Structure 1
Amino acid sequence: MKFKSLVKSMTKVGLGLVLSGTILVSCNDDDDNQMEIPSNQTIASIVTSTPAFSTLSQAVSKAGLGTTLSGNGQFTVFAPNNAAFEASGITSATLASLTAEQTKGILLYHTLASKVASTAVPAGPNAKVTTVQGDPIYVTKDARGVFVNGWKVNQADIMASNGIIHSIERVLMPASGNLVETAQGNENLSYLVAAVVRASQGNTNVANVLASTEGLTVFAPTNQAFIKAGFPTIASIQAADPAVLTSILTYHVVAARAFSSDLSNNQSLATVQGGNLLVSIGNQITIKGKANTSASNVVAPNVLATNGVVHVIDQVLLP
């Protein structure tokens, strides 16, 4: 994949920030960020003239997409505002470190080659839509609004003369690989990777299942989560019974693509292991295993993989 190394590095930046605290996921409309913009401007003109899109404007300029987004074609752009870039852990300095080609790839992942108003967004859930960049996004429309890869459109239908803008709450990042490769690309998940490798030495090739099965959700415990669960070192994981690790790991896997927007309060999720997980949603999303005394926090939701989605959590889930 052309932008694989870029996406891995950007994912690490975002995860590093959210792992230092707890990410909040809100379903409320952000009325304070609603923008009134004349519809006779092009997409590029709206982005460059709107203060809330100044970081996006910097990215458009660096990518050399100003002329394209000022052209006569009809486009749809899912546009992160400044707050969305900040919440995603991407600063002006981060953008400055990228090449024009890398920046262009990220922006084209936010772009569709036709005008799609919010009323025309497929209900889904998680309808697969191909972007100009070539990789898919997953869109859902319901009574709460429109969601892309689990993230909410804060303001839909900003009309432009050559298309439409939907302001979105996070920067969208294309998948860096399958579920195993996604974990391998994050240094905070090295214990999980070791557990997958060790479990695969038993009767079930867990690594192969996670790498090749389409449409999975993995709740991925951090290294510290494994340490808290009684695996102080990677060596201790490598010495564990593969069958025990397989039971634990498959308890973290749901056989469906479930972004944060697909989760609801008091929802019961059936796992591949056979047991169930309990979802709670308040100021944040938590997941509780049957044998856990407390719930695990989702500290980094909606990390896209080519065959599913990863939610990073701060406790190992126990069946």
Structure 2
Amino acid sequence: MKATKMLAAATLVGLMVPLAACSGNGEETSDKASPTLADKTTRTLASVIAGQSELSQVSDAMAEAGLAGVFDGPGSYTVLVPENSAFEALGKTGKTLTDAAHRPELVAVLRDHILPGALTTAAIETAIAENNGSVEMRTMGGNTVTFTQEDGKIVVTGADGSRTTLDGQAIAASNGVAMPISGLLKKAAPPATAQQ
């Protein structure tokens, strides 16, 4: 509980400081394009996710499941967005999961990738440091994710032990932040109709 309060406090501090730690200061090691800070006030999460080609699987799933409307609204969220390569790494399971016929299963997985409030990379790093190396936060799916830092990267661990890293720059939006990640935070079993 203390860790959650610390992350919430760090989030508030992070909201007062524009996403300087996440954009254009040369400290990030990604060459991926992202909107400028000026775009923060005009583009929603749905729009910035849709504008990133490496996030197209999640963008399509959100649009078809009606979640894009949520991310076009006034609420504030941090979305840990699995890149297309995260689904490709799952092989047949990933291909089935991203098929239009299985959007409900994908949306169920994605709920554990949505956090309340707008986080910055700097806020997460501060909370990790102030909480002796790890901090937990509850997802919109009702589970928790744990943030730690290893070899200069922020590692995110899902409730079922799935681990991934923040990958590239956070993308600022008017109603939150999209943070690309290299894997899924919830183990994705093949949908029942795909098993034979």
Q: Normalising to structure 1: TM-score of the pair? A: 0.42
Q: 1:100 to 1:84 in 2, by over 3 A?
A: closer
Q: Is 1:173 paired with 2:175?
A: no
Per-residue CA deviation, residues 100-158 of structure 1 (Å, 9 max, x unaligned), is 43222211110001111111113153422110010111111366131101321012431
Q: Say which SS state the counterpart of residue 58 (structure 1) adopts.
A: helix
Q: Is 1:87 paired with 2:89?
A: yes
Q: Which has the higher Rg, Structure 1 or Structure 2?
A: 1
Q: 1:157 to 1:97 in 2, by over 3 A?
A: closer
Alignment-derived partner of residue 113 in structure 2: 110
CA displacement at 1:30 relative to structure 2: 6.2
Contact 2:30 2:169 in 1 (8 A): no
Q: Say which SS state the counterpart of residue 173 (structure 1) adopts.
A: coil
- Which residue type is aligned with residue 76 of structure 1? T
Q: 1:138 to 1:69 in 2, by over 3 A?
A: same
- Write the distance in 2 (CA, Å) between the matches of 1:59 and 1:175: 15
Q: Any runs of at least 4 consecutive aligned residues in structure 1 with deviations exceeding 6 A, and if so which?
A: none
**Which residue, 141, 146, 152 being the options, matches 2:149?**
141
Query: Aligned runs of 1:256-295 on 2, under 5 Å?
Result: none
Contact 2:81 2:113 in 1 (8 A): yes
- Which residue type is aligned with residue 113 of structure 2? H
CA displacement at 1:52 relative to structure 2: 1.4
Q: Say which SS state the counterpart of residue 109 (structure 1) adopts.
A: helix
Q: Flag structure 1 segments of 5+ consecutive residues without an equivalent.
A: 1-28, 177-319
Q: Say which SS state the counterpart of residue 155 (structure 1) adopts.
A: coil
Alignment-derived partner of residue 130 in structure 1: 138
CA displacement at 1:35 relative to structure 2: 2.2
CA displacement at 1:163 relative to structure 2: 0.2
CA displacement at 1:91 relative to structure 2: 3.8
Q: 1:92 to 1:42 in 2, by over 3 A?
A: farther
- Write the distance in 2 (CA, Å) between the matches of 1:126 and 1:174: 21
Q: Is 1:36 paired with 2:38?
A: no
Contact 1:140 1:147 in 2 (8 A): yes
Contact 2:49 2:178 in 1 (8 A): no
Q: Is 1:50 paired with 2:52?
A: yes
- Write the distance in 2 (CA, Å) between the matches of 1:52 and 1:115: 21
Q: Is 1:74 paired with 2:76?
A: yes
Query: Aligned runs of 1:10-21 on 2, under 5 Å?
Result: none
**Which residue, 127, 141, 161 being the options, matches 2:174?**
161
- Write the distance in 1 (CA, Å) between the matches of 2:53 and 2:164: 22
- Aligned-pair identity in percent equals 25
- Write the distance in 2 (CA, Å) between the matches of 1:58 and 1:175: 18
- Write the distance in 1 (CA, Å) between the matches of 2:95 and 2:43: 25
Q: 1:128 to 1:175 in 2, by over 3 A?
A: farther
- Which residue type is aligned with residue 153 of structure 2? G
Ranked by relative contact order (alpha carbons within 8 Å, sequence separation 6 or more), the top structure is 2
Root-mean-square deviation (CA, aligned residues, Å) is: 2.5
- More strand by proportion, 1 or 2? 1
Q: Say which SS state the counterpart of residue 170 (structure 2) adopts.
A: strand
State the aligned residue count. Answer: 147
CA displacement at 1:94 relative to structure 2: 2.9
Q: Say which SS state the counterpart of residue 31 (structure 1) adopts.
A: coil
Per-residue CA deviation, residues 224-275 of structure 1 (Å, 9 max, x unaligned), is xxxxxxxxxxxxxxxxxxxxxxxxxxxxxxxxxxxxxxxxxxxxxxxxxxxx
Q: Normalising to structure 2: TM-score of the pair? A: 0.65
Q: Flag structure 2 segments of 5+ consecutive residues without an equivalent.
A: 1-27, 158-162, 190-196
Q: 1:108 to 1:116 in 2, by over 3 A?
A: same
Contact 2:34 2:169 in 1 (8 A): no
